[in-house]
Structure 1
Amino acid sequence: MATATRQQQEQAESVRLTQYAHGGGCACKIPPGELEEMVAGLTGRTPDPDRSGDLLVGLDSGDDAAVVRLPGGPGEPAVVATADFFTPVVDDPYDWGRIAAANALSDVYAMGGTPLVAVNLLSWPREVLPFALAREVLRGGLDVAAEAGCHVAGGHSVDDPEPKYGMAVTGVADPARLLRNDTGRPGMPLSLTKPLGLGVLNNRHKATGEVFQQAIATMVTLNREASRAALAAGVVCATDVTGFGLLGHLFKLARASGVTAVVDACAVPLLDGAREAVRDGYVSGGTRRNLAWVDPRTDFGTADEATRLLLADAQTSGGLLVAGEIPGAPVIGELRPAGEHRLVVR
């Protein structure tokens, strides 16, 4: 029995999880244009709000999570609900679990909420990969949820040709103090709480096996403190930056708010090694699709292709994009009255 256990452990340690998936992390999302076309008109609103509560945030603006005010009148909290899962973004199963959990929890923080309980979502090729790896993935998710003060109570698993992991998360928020993507107004500065470049570094990791600790540290960092800082500063407009890239999520914010967003490319923070990864060709298909989606809606000025790709880079567990100023977050641009383009890069 001991020998069999050692063999299983050696097999688990030799596995590169990223090689068992066609994409990695949030870069495997359905492209934003295709997704919007698919869900057009599917609002999901109930005809009986007196019984089920008011849907404060749904599909209308493509925000980060659904928000429902509970029946009972003023003073009742709002429920925040979201789900997020994806294929392996790193080879280490424990780190993948931590990253996926932080990414799922981020949707609640992006709405100004506090996560309360999560359930695991796990797809696993049970005849291909050892369950010891799946256990490590789940352990990583549990540890990050514990850091967030969020219960994890079971979940759902599926035998699947590709490994996938994430969480469905339920939280609460003050309905009078939500962070939304449709409340931006001209004159608001734009701040970004995590650097870009996660997508290209993860893609380089998938291709070469190189480990980028700066990327892992960024992805496992909760957006809790950024969310709290935004609320404390009186911010009402924010979103998180994940698979559609900075420009994709900023476009959705600008469109929902009826404004133009101006980005100072030189002010946008980048992870060490990100520009080199673009230079060496480690750009995912998801990033290129993001750029193709925003290109007709953007005045790129003199920005070169590398800069455009980094601004559209498909992030996994990225930071918050805040319409306001918060401590420690660089200001990367501002919102202006609506013009010919929704986005301007200078």
Structure 2
Amino acid sequence: MSLPVHPPAVKLTSLSRGAGCACKLPLSKLEDMFASLGTDLEPAAGDLLVGAAEGDDAAVYRLDDERALILTTDFFTPIVDDAREWGRIAAANALSDVYAMGGTPIIAVNLTAWPGDELPMELLADVLRGGADVAKEAGCFVVGGHTIDDPIPKYGMAVVGLAHPERLFQIDKLAEGDTLVLTKAIGTGVISTAIKNDGAEPAWVDGAIASMTMLNAAASKIARQAGAVAATDVTGFSLAGHLHRMAAASGLAAEIDASSVPLLDGAREAIARGYVPGGTRANMTHLSGSVTVDPQVPEDVAVLMHDAQTSGGLLFAVPAGGDAGSAVAALRADGHPAAVVGRVVGGSAGQVTVLTGP
């Protein structure tokens, strides 16, 4: 017999610090902190194919000529009030970094912080069931984990995956002339903030949850078939921010066609009602010197280019001469609202220009 869903009186999101998004530290603070570490960061060398110094989505260690081990972790506070859905979102988000490296998740452990004196353990059981549901869908074993007592609930996973060492996706592999494909709609940050403030329409919530719980497994496979070698998943640093990081690491610039970017239903309405999370505002401030927005781009769309996402889609580059259209068609046939959203160009490393359209 299943345990009961949490009582309506329990509003999980009210226990979260910050608003709306997955509450990552601002990109500016993280970059300053990592810069201070300098040579203390482990760079790729020998069988360590991707280390901390590369700033990619996960670490990668070569086991042999055919296998590379991928290691990643992610966890965050509640962004929806249904415990099981929160668990599903957090698990999909943690697994996503493995897909963003071109790998397959194989095993995971839970990471949990829980206010045991304030929230029933039945709620935590629902969170873990949600995570297990998504891991099972991914073919990934969940083998325990670690829980601490904490006044702010948090949940996520540490995940191990496998990939072929010669078939990895990496953020520094963009090439001039590449076509950029995004596999999911954006807007989870502003909609999550609306949820926290009791301002989200039911249809917005359903759409955002469906997007955040969709695995990036098929997207990763289709990206590989399209010849991609450069990819990332779009999370807290936003579409513009993650593209900036890819372009900077590759020594190139990039353009986004704002009118082509898929948006979640309710995202623009949420902004009109004032539901813009702190993470999104921080992205706009930090990226102001690296991201140029054409004045013709609507203001709310410009905000969404900087919106802090949770469990977003893959952003991958189809090499020049490749068939980005076929990749998009395959993604849409699999249920992804994918689109060609821009291109890689020459220019100042890391500079991103947001245009009105193609």
TM-score by length of 2: 0.89
The alpha-carbon distance between structure 1 residues 250 and 34, as it changes in their structure 2 partners (threshold 3 A), is: same
CA contact (8 A) 1:24 1:86 kept: no
Q: 1:249 to 1:164 in 2, by over 3 A?
A: same
In 2, the alpha carbon distance for the partners of 1:271 and 1:108 equals 24
Aligned to 1:82: 72
Deviation track 1:176-210 (CA, whole Å, cap 9, x = no partner) reads 01111000001000010000111111110110064
Q: Is the 8 A contact 1:54 1:68 kept in 2?
A: yes
Report the counterpart of residue 28 of structure 2 in structure 1. Answer: 33
Q: Match of 2:134, as an amino acid? A: V
Distance 1:174 1:281, change over 3 A: same
Aligned-partner residue type, residue 37 of structure 1: D
**Counterparts of residues 13-28 of structure 1 (less than 5 Å):** 13-23=8-18, 26-28=21-23
* Paired letter, 1:162: I
The answer to whether the aligner puts 1:207 opposite 2:201 as a matched pair is no
Task: Please state how far the C-alpha of 1:268 moved relative to its aligned partner.
Answer: 0.5
Q: Does residue 315 in structure 1 map to residue 309 in structure 2?
A: yes
- In structure 2, relative to structure 1, the CA distance for the partners of 1:132 and 1:297 (3 Å cut) is same
Question: 1:341 Cα shift?
Answer: 6.4
Q: 1:112, 1:295 → 2: CA distance?
A: 31
| Cα shift at 1:339 | 3.2
2: CA distance, partners of 1:118 / 1:231? 24
| SS, match of residue 135 in structure 1 | helix
Match of 1:101 in 2: 91
Partner of 2:346 in structure 1? 337
Partner of 2:131: 141
Structure 1 pair 76/186, CA: closer, same or farther in 2 (3 Å)?
same
- Quick check: 284-293 or 296-305, which moved more? 296-305
RMSD, aligned CA: 1.8
Q: Does 1:56 align with 2:49?
A: yes
In the alignment of these two chains, the number of paired residues is 331
Distance 2:142 2:22 in 1: 26
Secondary structure of the structure 2 residue equivalent to 1:335: strand
How big is the shift at 1:63?
A: 1.1
Percent identity over the alignment is 53
Q: Which amino acid aligns with 1:38?
A: M
User: Residues of 2 paired with 1:334 and 1:124: CA distance?
Assistant: 43
- Preserved contact between residue 113 and residue 178 of structure 1 (Cα < 8 Å): yes
Letter in 1 for 2:33: M
State the distance in 1 between where 2:349 and 2:250 align: 15
* C-alpha contact 2:252 2:350 (8 A) present in aligned 1: no
Q: Deviations 1:54-87 (Å, cap 9, x if unpaired)?
A: 11112233211111112x4xx2310000000000
CA contact (8 A) 2:101 2:169 kept: yes
Q: Residue 107 of structure 2 aligns with which residue?
A: 117
Task: Give yes or no for contact 2:22–2:77 (8 Å, CA) kept in 1.
Answer: no
4+ long deviations beyond 6 Å: none
Correspondence for 2:252: 259
CA shift at 1:10, angstroms? Answer: 8.3
For the Cα contact (< 8 Å) 1:200–1:284, is it kept in 2?
yes
Q: Which runs of 5+ in 1 are unaligned?
A: 1-7
Deviation at 1:301, TM superposition (A): 1.8
Structure 2 gaps of 5+ residues are 319-323, 332-337
Letter in 2 for 1:295: S
- Confirm whether residue 234 of structure 1 aligns to residue 227 of structure 2: yes
Q: Secondary structure at the match of 1:28?
A: coil
Aligned-partner Cα distance in 1 for 2:276–2:199: 15
From 218, 223, 236, the counterpart of 1:225: 218
Query: Is the contact made by 1:26 and 1:242 (CA closer than 8 Å) also made in structure 2?
Result: no
TM-score by length of 1: 0.92
Residue 30 of structure 2 aligns to a residue whose secondary structure is helix
